[in-house]
Amino acid sequence: MNSYVTRLEGPAPERDVARDLVKKGLIVTPVFVAICWAIWGATGAASAVYGIAIVCVNFLLSAALITWTARVNLGLLMGAVLFGYIGRLGLIFAAVILVRDMSWVSLVPLGLTLIVTHLGLLFWELRYVSASLAFPGLKPPAVPGSSK
């Protein structure tokens, strides 16, 4: 049987990882907003909130695309991951272009928030993702009394 037409059944760890990324994004939102408010004022704070929302939606769209296509077949999954990335970059570009001339937007804090939040959340998540086939996705919580 051709492995490209195989479907993946079972849990979808990518959804759990994306939700965890969004939770962490909500944790850092007040910090980003405060920093941007202190440097750029109200427009900087609004731009930071908008940028973090874009990042969170991007992670959730990515996970949804992977989850849906993996249930169809692996060939579609591979194409969706490649072209979905390009498509999501286009959506981020469109989300910025649509608001760039609005009075509440400041492009520097928006751009910095997009870059720092994407990379920062991904690096933060590295500590919590399991690369084990026994526990794909997020690492299970540590059992009290066990050694690490």
Q: Is the pLDDT of residue 131 over 90?
A: no
> Mean pLDDT throughout 42-50?
97
> Mean pLDDT throughout 27-33?
95
Q: Is the pLDDT of residue 127 over 70?
A: yes
Q: What is the pLDDT of residue 132?
A: 62
The residue type of 108 is V
Q: From CA 110, how far away is CA 112, in angstroms rounded?
A: 6
Indicate the burial class of 49 (C-beta count within 10 angstroms; 0-12, 13-18, 19 or more). middle
Q: What is the pLDDT of residue 49?
A: 97
Question: Which is higher by pLDDT, 73 or 53?
Answer: 53
Q: Is the pLDDT of residue 18 over 70?
A: yes
